[in-house]
C-alpha cells in the first residue's frame, strides 16, 4: 500500500525497513523522554537491540504493522499498530483490537499531514483485518491529531505493575 502526496510516500514497512524503524523509534524516545540518555550505554544498547528483535519477530509473525513515510530515500515518519486478541465481547465480537504506537514525524516534516496520513493507512488496514478497537497513549501534541481523526478520550482502567514489587501473602 502506498499513498503519494507532496513528495512524501507512505508505505507499509517490511523486515527490510528495520533500521529505519529503529532510527525513528529512538528519535521518538529521545523526544518524549529527553533524559533517556542518562541511562548507561549498556541499557540503551540493550533497549535498541530488544526493539530490533521485537520488530523482526512482530513483522515475521504478523503481530503488528508499521507504516513509514519517505521523502526520497529518507524515512521521515512512522507509526505502528500492535495487535491484541482478547475474548470477544458484545461490542467487539471479533476480539481483535489494536494499540497504536509511535506516531512520529521528524521535526522539519511536521505540519504537513504526514502523521494523519500514516494513521489513515493504519486504520484502513486495521478495518480490513477486522480490528474493532484501537487504543493509544498520546503526547499533548499528538492529542490534536488523534482528536481530528476521531479518537475520543477514554477512562483508564487499573493496572498491576510487577516490576520491583512484592505481593502480600494470603
Domain membership flag for residue 92: yes
- Tell whether the model's pLDDT for residue 108 goes beyond 70: yes
- Tell whether the model's pLDDT for residue 59 goes beyond 50: yes
C-alpha cell at 75: 524515512
Domain membership flag for residue 93: yes
pLDDT tens, residue by residue, 120-144 = 999 999 999 989 889 888 888 888 8
CA-based nearest residue to 25, from 81, 79, 99: 79
- Tell whether the model's pLDDT for residue 1 goes beyond 70: no
pLDDT tens, residue by residue, 64-91 = 999 999 999 999 999 999 999 999 988 8
Q: What is the mean pLDDT of residues 14-31?
A: 95
Q: What is the CATH number of the domain that holds 37?
A: 3.40.630.30
Domain membership flag for residue 59: yes
How many separate domains does the chain show? 1
Residue numbers of the domain that contains 128: 2-149
Domain membership flag for residue 114: yes
Domain membership flag for residue 9: yes
Q: Which residue has the cell 507512505?
A: 10
Residue 52's H or E segment, with its range, is helix 41-60
CA distance 87 to 37: 39
CA distance 137 to 146: 10
Q: What is the mean pLDDT of residues 16-33?
A: 94
Domain membership flag for residue 160: no
Domain membership flag for residue 161: no
Domain membership flag for residue 6: yes
Contact 79, 103 (CB under 8 A): yes
pLDDT tens, residue by residue, 143-168 = 888 888 888 887 765 455 555 556 55
Amino acid at each position: 500500500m502506498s499513498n503519494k502526496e507532496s513528495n512524501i510516500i507512505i508505505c507499509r514497512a517490511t523486515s527490510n525497513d528495520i533500521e529505519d524503524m529503529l532510527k525513528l523509534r529512538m528519535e521518538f524516545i529521545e523526544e518524549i523522554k529527553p533524559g533517556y540518555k542518562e541511562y548507561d550505554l549498556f541499557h540503551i544498547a540493550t533497549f535498541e537491540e530488544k526493539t530490533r528483535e521485537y520488530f523482526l519477530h512482530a513483522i515475521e509473525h504478523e503481530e503488528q504493522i508499521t507504516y513509514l513515510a519517505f521523502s526520497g530515500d529518507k524515512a521521515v515518519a512512522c507509526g505502528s499498530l500492535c495487535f491484541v486478541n482478547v475474548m470477544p465481547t458484545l461490542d467487539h465480537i471479533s476480539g481483535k483490537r489494536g494499540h497504536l504506537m509511535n506516531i512520529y514525524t521528524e521535526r522539519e516534516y511536521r505540519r504537513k499531514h504526514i502523521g494523519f496520513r500514516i494513521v489513515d493507512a493504519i486504520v484502513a488496514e486495521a478495518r480490513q483485518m477486522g480490528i474493532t478497537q484501537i487504543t493509544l497513549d498520546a503526547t499533548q501534541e499528538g492529542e490534536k491529531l488523534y482528536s481530528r481523526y476521531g479518537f475520543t478520550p477514554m477512562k483508564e482502567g487499573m493496572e498491576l505493575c510487577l516490576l520491583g514489587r512484592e505481593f502480600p501473602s494470603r
